[in-house]
Structure 1
Amino acid sequence: MSVSVRVPTILRTYTNGAADVTASGETLRDVLRTLESDYPGIESRVLDDDGRVRRFVNVYVGDEDVRFAQGLDTPTPAGSQVSIIPAVAGGAGPLVG
């Protein structure tokens, strides 16, 4: 099953600058394996050493955060969109009044 994968700017060095790539797989795990095959090195930026989605990376299939779905076993129906989104931290310092 072919899906569209939205790649964040920080990972586009692995996809030759492409913001959207196509991958196949019945589950998110399969899609990530396909991505790794086509774009070596990208999977280790999404998954930690234990094979789980990294703490500061959010992955969505459609509008659903996979952490609240079936994790890496979340189904990826044909035509769906997978979004890899790095968490953003920081902000302004304390307000001085």
Structure 2
Amino acid sequence: MSVNVRIPTILRTYTDGKSEVSAEGANLGEVLADLERNHQGIGARVLDDTGKLRRFVNVYVNDDDVRFAEGLATQTPDGAGVSIIPAVAGG
């Protein structure tokens, strides 16, 4: 399945400055693997050393936060939008 991935400004150095790129995969894990194949280095910014989503990175498939869905197994239907959003902290 082909999906559209929205890339935050901080990760655009991996996508040649593009704010959106296409990726393939039936679920989020496959989409992120395809993203890494085509934009080397971005995977390490989204996934930790154990292959799980980093604590301070939020990922949405369409409008659904994957942490409250199936995580990396969240289905990514053809044409879905995937958003990678770094968490913002402050006080």
TM-score range, shorter chain: over 0.9
Residue 45 of structure 1 deviates from its aligned partner by: 0.2
2:87 equivalent to 1:63:
no
Give me the whole-angstrom Cα distance separating, in 2, the residues matched to 1:90 and 1:69. Answer: 26
Larger Rg: 1
**Displacement after TM superposition at 1:77 (Å):** 0.1
**Cα distance per residue 1:42-78 (max 9 Å; x no partner):** 0010000111100000000000000000000000000
Counterpart of 1:95 in structure 2 is none
State the partner residue of 1:10: 10
TM-score, L = length of structure 1: 0.92
Task: Output the aligned Cα RMSD.
Answer: 0.5
**Distance of 1:2 and 1:56 partners within structure 2:** 26
Q: How far off is 1:86 after superposition?
A: 0.1
Q: Where in structure 1 are there 5+ consecutive unaligned residues?
A: 92-97
In the alignment, which residue of structure 2 is the partner of 1:73? 73
Q: 1: distance between equivalents of 2:23 and 2:49?
A: 22
Gap regions ≥5 residues in structure 2? none
Structure 1 CA distance for aligned equivalents of residues 21 and 86 of structure 2: 17
Task: Quote how far apart the aligned CAs of 1:34 are.
Answer: 0.4
TM-score if structure 2 supplies the norm length?
Answer: 0.98
Equivalent position amino acid for 2:29 in 1: R
Which contiguous aligned blocks of 4+ residues in structure 1 show a shift greater than 4 angstroms?
Answer: none
